Copies of this chain bind each other. A is one copy, B any other.
């Protein structure tokens, strides 16, 4: 590398390090704070899956005799990772507000967050048995809703909806515990793998399933009942949202649909706004719905035109 090249590289490195160019784009790390880590969270999700569906996930050769050993080891590892990652989430959210008092005060805030993280991790782990019960209903729903499914085992091993729902249900438990950032990273991992984008804040009942799944979007304030089924490409989104005086969207306002029990939404339909789709309603494919739908209603698309070939 000749000298002019080296000088140029040095110069660009300096420009990219200049504080003015970094406003809001630089996450400054503080000594002692763990870092939110997607690989660590991926390990945590693998551990969850190996505990929720033993033998299907995790590479170990589990049987009824040794199951408890595998469970014990996985439990402890999961606890360690969740302690650290939840603490990382708390640090991330705390940001730099304590910056003036850096030093002893920060250290004690750090210690406090560590203890809180351990407490939240414990609360999360205790939810796992209930979480498995709910996921069992999702497996059932996927199996009975798809004539191509050959066994529960195939559904658990292969169906993207099970992967997406496992991540969502884990993330949602963490949302219930007010853990910041981490739930979102967990659902985005599933989004990337399956194309199913469920916001961790959404509320979803049991026996839920999504067929194929790619392109499904479920917004943060959605409320979904039991026995609901969606197909690929379905959006449960916001129509518009109020902005404050500075034109920024106001956070936290209910703006996504409510789907009551036993609703079915076919492929690529878009349901927008805080509307209610009544129980047992069926929404056909490729439709845009922005108003309430009464229970039991069937909505279909207008006929397409057939011009001459």
Interface members, chain A 143-173 (any B CB < 8 Å): 144-148, 150-154, 156-160
Q: Mark A275-303, 1 if CB is under 8 A from B, else 0.
A: 00000111011111100011111111111
Q: Give how many copies assemble into the complex.
A: 6
- Report yes or no: A102 in contact with B25, Cβ–Cβ below 8 A: no
> Which chain B residue shows the least CB distance to A24?
B152
Shortest C-beta distance, A53 to chain B (Å), equals: 5
A9 at the B interface (CB under 8 A): yes
CA–CA, A129 to B12, complex, Å? 7
CA distance A249 to B250 in the complex (A): 45
**Interface status of A261 (Cβ within 8 A of chain B):** no
Check if A272 is an interface residue, CB within 8 A of chain B: yes
Cβ of A94 to closest chain B Cβ, rounded Å? 11
Residues 2-20 of chain A: 1 if any B CB is under 8 Å from the residue's CB, otherwise 0?
1101111110111111010
Q: Which 4 A-B pairs have the closest CB atoms?
A: A69-B72, A27-B55, A296-B309, A6-B65
- Return A92 CB to nearest CB of chain B, in Å: 6
Q: Can you name 13 A-B pairs with beta carbons within 8 Å?
A: A1-B30, A1-B63, A3-B65, A9-B79, A9-B125, A16-B71, A25-B135, A69-B71, A144-B249, A146-B249, A197-B212, A282-B309, A300-B305
